[in-house]
Amino acid sequence: MSRRALILSVAVAIVLGVGTYYLMSLRRHMAPSHASTLRSEQKARTQLNEAALQAGGQAQTLTLYFPSYADGNLVAETRSVKLSSDNVKAIRQILLALIEGSHQGHGSALSPSTTIRAVFLTSDGTAIVDLSQEALADFQPGIESESLAIYSIVDSVCANLPAAKEVKFLVQGQEAQTLDGHIDLTGSFAPEPSLIAQTH
């Protein structure tokens, strides 16, 4: 190989190396990490949820029940929400408040990435709640955890909305057999006050 060809080859290799490095660096700056994207999405979702919670009518104090997985019970937590006079919208607001999570450090029944696909209220008082697949994410394993998650939702909905007598769950528009392989979800659930921690 002549000296001129060798110099040309080295120059091309350097240009290609610098170009590749530049493109990789540019890609890192332009495309945020997966974790960063998830955090941004969850922050945006929380802000949307908070806006939806205050988009109803007159401000009311809701009693929400969050799981205390360590103690094996539900812990009551109050929150001021402009609850809609429309029962279906009110159920959605209660679910959004649960998705938003506890303000006192208690457990969550629903993953922050959960989407409420649809809500119905039948004439006999059954609230039908259709949740996205993400409702099954970040789930603590075990029958007790599954029970607390279910009744966190059921007790919160029925306690704040007299028209709702029981709750039936759907996931992605379909009947789910269980949340985590334990409790049969094909039926409806009435409130279970015995799970609520007693305050003194």
The reply to whether 97 and 18 lie within a common domain is no
Higher pLDDT, 179 or 67: 67
The reply to whether 200 falls in a domain is: no
Residue 88, domain extent: 40-195
What tokens were used for 134?
């993400």
pLDDT at position 127: 98
The reply to whether 9 and 82 lie within a common domain is no
Share of the chain above pLDDT 90, in %: 46
Query: 104, 74 in Cβ contact below 8 A?
Result: no
Tokens 């759907």: give the residue.
170
Domain count, the chain: 2
Model confidence over 123-169: pLDDT tens digits? 999 999 999 988 877 666 778 888 999 999 999 999 999 999 999 99
**Please, what is the average pLDDT of the chain?**
80
Question: Mean pLDDT throughout 181-189?
Answer: 81
The reply to whether 26 and 55 lie within a common domain is no
Helix (H), strand (E) counts: the chain: 4, 7
pLDDT at position 135: 81
The reply to whether 103 and 155 lie within a common domain is yes
Alpha helices in the chain (DSSP H): 3-30, 34-53, 87-100, 143-160
Q: How many CA atoms lie within 13 A of 116 on its CB side?
A: 25
| C-alpha to C-alpha distances, 176 to 21, 125, 129, 133, nearest whole angstrom | 49, 21, 12, 10
